[in-house]
Every structure is written in C-alpha cells, then in structure tokens.
Chain A
Amino acid sequence: DTGVSQDPRHKITKRGQNVTFRCDPISEHNRLYWYRQTLGQGPEFLTYFQNEAQLEKSRLLSDRFSAERPKGSFSTLEIQRTEQGDSAMYLCASSHPRTQSSGNTIYFGEGSWLTVV
C-alpha cells in the first residue's frame, strides 16, 4: 500500500509528557500537511511543508508543537508538555505537484489518535 502512513495509530500519555508522531507521505508528493481533528469538527490545519521547507503555520500551532521534515520525505510532529486539550486525532496528508497548479487535492493518512490523561 503506497498511501500516507502514520505512526503510531494510537497514543495514550500522561499530562506533561512529550509525544511524537511520524508521517510518511505518498511517494513523489512534495507537500506534506498536518491537521488536527476533534470530535464533531472537521480537520483543522496546523502546518504544511513543501519539500523540507515549512511554509505555513496555523495560530493553532502553539509553542509546544513543533514539526519537522528534515529530508523532504517523512515528517514528525512533536507535542511537548502535553495537556488534556491536546487530545485529538492528528492527521497527516500529502499532495503531488501535478495537482497543485489546478486545484490542490490532498490525501490523508489513517490518523494518529492522542489521548492525554
């Protein structure tokens, strides 16, 4: 399967701990996105990369959140000093340069569930 891959799928952590999620985009997709989704809401944009460059960050991305894509391939999203309000599904998505000029279609992974207790 060559879809967007996310790991881990589920994470339960204690408040105050750090967590890291990994995303492997679809091959040849140069853009990689992170979204967050809570119950009853649609996905909310957090940040995106074009190759290794982080081009946009939402104001939702507090100082405790950091995302990297060091080699322009996989990406990590780290949350430091987790809070209960961080509990959500973290979604990664990617898009191919071919689609970006005519309307950018993004393809999501399965998501990583975070529960902060």
Chain B
Amino acid sequence: DQQVKQNSPSLSVQEGRISILNCDYTNSMFDYFLWYKKYPAEGPTFLISISSIKDKNEDGRFTVFLNKSAKHLSLHIVPSQPGDSAVYFCAASAGNNDMRFGAGTRLTVKP
C-alpha cells in the first residue's frame, strides 16, 4: 500500500537554479510531513518538516509547501548547490504512528 508516492525517480538541475521535488499522499489522516536527504551508504538525514496546520515552512534554502486539498507537498531548494545532490525522501505520519516513506527522488545538481 503505497501511501506516499514520489513519482519522479530523478531530477537534474543546474547549480544556482531552483530544485522542486514533489510528493503525493493518499492517507488523509497524515498530519505531519518530513523530508529526508540521503547520501550513498549513509542513513537518511532529517531536512525539514511541516505540520498539517501549516501550508509552508522555510529553513534557509529549503522550503516545504503543503497542499492538503490536493494531498500534495513539495520541497523547494533555492539556490541549488552541487552538494545538494542526493536522494530525497518524503515521509508522512498520522499522530504518533509509524512513518511512511516515498521511494525517493535522486537529485543531481550540475555545476
């Protein structure tokens, strides 16, 4: 049951441009959403989160947008840097229950 979906397996952007990673979910009970970043052979690293009572959360170059009616969230990275190249996972949870992850999007930022 794929409750969290990242439909783009990969994304390539030029350094300095905006990266937009998308995520869709099906479970309307999800109330907390997170983005994780993963480098090869390492565990995922927490990046940014958003509660369902908000529609935007910003942290430096990273902004997460939540559209509850569309069950869609996105991560914007501006400006993109080569060090941002990694796999990005979207995750969601309902209450304090276990977290569900998408399959990930591989971001490549070209110099």
Contacts and interface: CB of A to CB of B under 8 A. Distances in A.
Interface of A: 4, 6, 33, 40-45, 48, 56, 58, 91, 93, 100, 102-111, 113
Given A4-B43, A91-B43, A108-B44, A102 B98 contact: no
Interface of B: 4, 6, 9, 31-32, 34, 36, 41-46, 49, 51, 89, 91, 93, 96-104
A111 B49 contact: no
A42 B104 CA distance: 6
Given A56-B98, A104-B32, A105-B46, 12 more contacts: A4-B43, A40-B9, A42-B6, A42-B91, A42-B103, A43-B101, A45-B99, A48-B98, A91-B43, A102-B51, A107-B46, A110-B42
A105 B43 contact: no
Given A91-B43, A109-B43, A110-B43, A103 B101 contact: no
Contacts of B44: 43, 91, 108
A104 B89 contact: no
A42 B89 contact: yes
A108 B45 contact: yes
Contacts of B100: 45
B98 A105 contact: no
B43 A45 contact: no
A26 to B, nearest CB: 12
A53 to B, nearest CB: 14
A4 to B, nearest CB: 7
A33 B101 CA distance: 14
8 smallest CB-CB distances across A and B, nearest first, come from A42-B101, A108-B43, A103-B32, A45-B98, A111-B43, A43-B101, A108-B44, A110-B43
A17 B40 CA distance: 27
A99 B99 CA distance: 14
Contact of A44 (B6, B43, B46, B101): B101
A40 B106 CA distance: 10
Nearest to B45: A108
Contacts of B46: 105-108
